[in-house]
Structure 1
């Protein structure tokens, strides 16, 4: 199940098509940054981009402050669970966005890789998570703009 698109309650199911670009967000615990990024991409792309997230050492649950911060944006992460990173998830993605996992992320030639330097929301309260959330949203908006103006074969 780790290689399945992120599913958010109440969101329309995206059409099954191979034409959509695919993005995988990876951080160590898949409990904060990558969960927020995946939720934003799913929400803001209206299903036009396939979304995955995973962690190299997944936590037991999503960071409560990340859940609260995203709820303020009208995005519900309560049903999400951290997932383990698999080679298959990387192979099946056009773009791999890493967030602090360093050398533990697998590398495959021909993939577009981005490493987003973001503060870790772990151990921070809502006031510390909001700026991280907002930076993630800005980066997601830019990524959507890039991916939806190019064809998947040029991603």
Structure 2
């Protein structure tokens, strides 16, 4: 099973492709766009400014993530074709907690892709994801002894 995951709870826009391997998960790719340079001008995160940047960054981040996953699996770096998108089994997205505008960008993008690609949509709680991230191991680490 391969999942495209989208994260946009605050000032960064992120996407990754993960693949189920045995009892574990392999992170094939992860791409992140940061708004840090822009928010520094304001002395911190301004939700409206961040959300506008995420509108600009979201699709390029997803495209780069999918292209990198294709490369990781033995292909080249060109964006995947519609045929290759069938390899994505589901789309996961953080639905909260987070900044409302940022969450809307990520959730609506994920919903649109799930509808267009006829894929299931998996909602992920941002805080619960932080807890479960502790069990993601580097490739080659024995999951049975951890």
- The TM-score, its normalising length taken from structure 1, stands at 0.29
Larger Rg: 2
Q: Normalized per residue, which structure has more strand?
A: 2
Higher helix residue share? 2
